[in-house]
């Protein structure tokens, strides 16, 4: 595929146009660099797992309305490299299905022709704020969510009709309008209006069904995360008839996969909405041996009476806090599986765990986000002198 038209200005793809083998080599080198810098003693650093697909793999995009130049024509897309106030229209993005690009261009044309204003970050005035498109890779379902301020004038019916008339490969199952009057340049929901269909789409991962609502976190690259999770769970010697803790569980993808074999799985997640989605999806999949708890991992572990036989952690980019690590280590389980989206904080956490009695058996990087800087890793730790 040719280099993206917007590669020089869009801030999304740092590896755009770089040979894929070199991308993989750079990412492995980055992981090894962080591990070596912290003097992590690891048994094996395995080869990086390439992505199943290098293009059109993202199932969600959050676009911003704005302009490239002050008082210039309205744009819709991503922030320009090193220019927070400028927005690049990315209607030829290679990381998404072309339906995303069609929807983006159509929505931008609609807003421009109607004379709608974009929201200004400094004056805090304007109507159009964001456009969020989500897609079920396995189901072909699309969810379109336009985010506006509460300023009057937005024609909901004409917007809906315009989208439903589009010729797309996937099927739009929901059109939403989110009203957001917060000052921060982020998507908040003061009010959610369902303009058409439903406020969720369906997805399938590892034989499980997931109902993904408008603001639920969900893995961005479904095909790649299946490979990552399958590999990570195969690292555990045996979790059949055992109690497993899945910490930082998100919407419970790993929790439910574990629940198909384990005696009991307890998932803990800070984001309340994710926990509610996890409970709903577990019921959808007929799983009654997993429990989900909403709250800070460290604080919630103090309230759980059960003791784990195995622990799986999949923390956010900032890694695991020292207090939570202390609690995890004190359980003294034989095996811990650490799934990481940030090799820097992974190395910092491994250094701490290594000091307090855990051996790093293996680390395997995964390239779940080609053309970008992001790297995932699956790591197995075992208790020394178990």
Per-domain residue ranges of the chain: 20-53+217-383, 60-205
Annotated binding residue 94? no
Annotated binding residue 196? no
CA-based nearest residue to 139, from 200, 98, 94, 194: 200
- The 3-state DSSP class for residue 179 equals strand
Choice among 209-223, 334-348, 366-380 with the minimum mean pLDDT: 209-223
CA-based nearest residue to 51, from 351, 372, 338: 372
- The 3-state DSSP class for residue 150 equals coil
Q: Residue 9: what pLDDT? A: 78
d(C-alpha 49, C-alpha 365), whole Å: 6
Q: Residue 81: what pLDDT? A: 77
Q: Residue 1: what pLDDT? A: 65
Mean per-residue pLDDT, 206-230 = 93
Q: Residue 271: what pLDDT? A: 87
d(C-alpha 240, C-alpha 184), whole Å: 46
Give the model's confidence band at 295: pLDDT under 50 very low, under 70 low, under 90 confident, else very high.
very high
* Locus of tokens 């059960």: 306
84-118 confidence digits (pLDDT tens): 778 999 999 999 999 999 999 999 999 999 999 99
Annotated binding residue 219? yes
Verify whether residue 93 is a known catalytic residue: no
18-66 confidence digits (pLDDT tens): 899 999 999 999 999 999 999 999 999 999 999 999 999 999 999 999 9
Q: What is the pTM of this model?
A: 0.92
63 within 8 A of 131, measured Cβ to Cβ: yes
Q: Residue 3: what pLDDT? A: 80
Alpha-carbon Rg for the chain, nearest whole angstrom, is 22
Q: Is the confidence at residue 13, as pLDDT, over 90? A: no
174-217 confidence digits (pLDDT tens): 999 999 999 888 899 999 999 999 999 999 999 999 999 888 88
CATH 2.40.50.1070 fits 60-205, yes or no: yes
Choice among 290, 341, 371, 379 that is catalytic: 341
Q: Residue 46: what pLDDT? A: 97
115-140 confidence digits (pLDDT tens): 999 999 888 899 999 999 999 999 99
Mean per-residue pLDDT, 6-13 = 78
- pLDDT > 70 in the chain, percent: 99
Q: Is the confidence at residue 386, as pLDDT, over 70? A: no
Mean per-residue pLDDT, 258-273 = 94
Annotated binding residue 248? yes
Which of 3.80.10.10, 3.90.180.10, 3.40.50.150, 3.40.50.920 is the CATH number of 20-53+217-383? 3.40.50.150
d(C-alpha 105, C-alpha 266), whole Å: 44
Q: Residue 2: what pLDDT? A: 72
Farthest CA pair distance, the chain: 70
Give the model's confidence band at 172: pLDDT under 50 very low, under 70 low, under 90 confident, else very high.
very high
377 within 8 A of 363, measured Cβ to Cβ: yes
Mean per-residue pLDDT, 57-79 = 93
Give the model's confidence band at 14: pLDDT under 50 very low, under 70 low, under 90 confident, else very high.
confident
- Pull the structure tokens for residue 161: 């009709």
d(C-alpha 334, C-alpha 232), whole Å: 16
d(C-alpha 143, C-alpha 192), whole Å: 13
Tell me the average pLDDT of the chain. Answer: 94
112 within 8 A of 74, measured Cβ to Cβ: yes
- pLDDT > 90 in the chain, percent: 85
């Amino acid at each position: 595929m040719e280099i993206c038209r917007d590669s020089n200005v869009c801030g999304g793809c740092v590896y755009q146009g770089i040979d894929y083998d070199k991308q993989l080599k750079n990412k492995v080198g980055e992981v090894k660099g962080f591990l070596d810098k912290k003097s992590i003693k690891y048994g094996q650093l395995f080869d990086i797992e390439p992505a199943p697909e290098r293009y059109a793999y993202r199932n969600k995009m959050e676009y911003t309305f704005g302009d490239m130049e002050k008082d210039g024509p309205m744009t819709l897309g991503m922030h320009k490299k090193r220019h927070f106030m400028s927005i690049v229209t990315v209607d030829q993005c290679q990381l998404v299905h072309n339906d995303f690009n069609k929807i983006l261009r159509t929505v931008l044309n609609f807003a421009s022709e109607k004379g709608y204003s974009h929201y200004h970050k400094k004056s805090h005035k304007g109507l159009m704020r964001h456009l969020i498109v989500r897609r079920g890779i396995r189901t072909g379902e699309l969810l379109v969510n336009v985010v506006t301020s509460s300023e009057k004038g937005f024609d909901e019916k004409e917007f809906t009709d315009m989208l439903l008339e589009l010729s797309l490969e996937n099927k739009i199952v929901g059109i939403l309008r989110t009203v957001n009057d917060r000052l921060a340049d982020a998507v908040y929901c003061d009010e959610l209006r369902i303009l058409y269909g439903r406020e969720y789409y369906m997805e399938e991962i590892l034989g499980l069904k997931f109902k993904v609502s408008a603001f639920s976190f969900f893995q961005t690259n479904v095909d790649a995360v299946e490979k990552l999770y399958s590999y990570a769970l195969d690292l555990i010697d045996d979790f059949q008839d055992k109690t497993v803790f899945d910490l930082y569980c998100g919407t419970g993808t790993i929790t439910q996969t574990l629940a198909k074999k384990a005696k009991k799985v307890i998932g803990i997640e800070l984001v309340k909405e994710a926990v509610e989605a996890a409970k709903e999806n577990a019921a959808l999949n007929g799983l009654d041996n997993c429990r989900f708890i909403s709250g800070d991992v460290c604080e919630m572990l103090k309230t759980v009476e059960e003791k784990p036989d195995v622990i799986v952690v999949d923390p956010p980019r900032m890694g695991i806090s020292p207090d939570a690590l202390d609690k995890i280590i004190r359980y003294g389980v034989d095996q811990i599986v650490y799934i990481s989206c940030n090799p820097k904080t992974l190395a910092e956490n491994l250094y701490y765990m290594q000091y307090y009695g855990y051996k790093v058996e293996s680390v395997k990087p995964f390239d779940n986000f080609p053309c970008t800087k992001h790297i995932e890793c699956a790591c197995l730790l075992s208790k020394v002198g178990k």
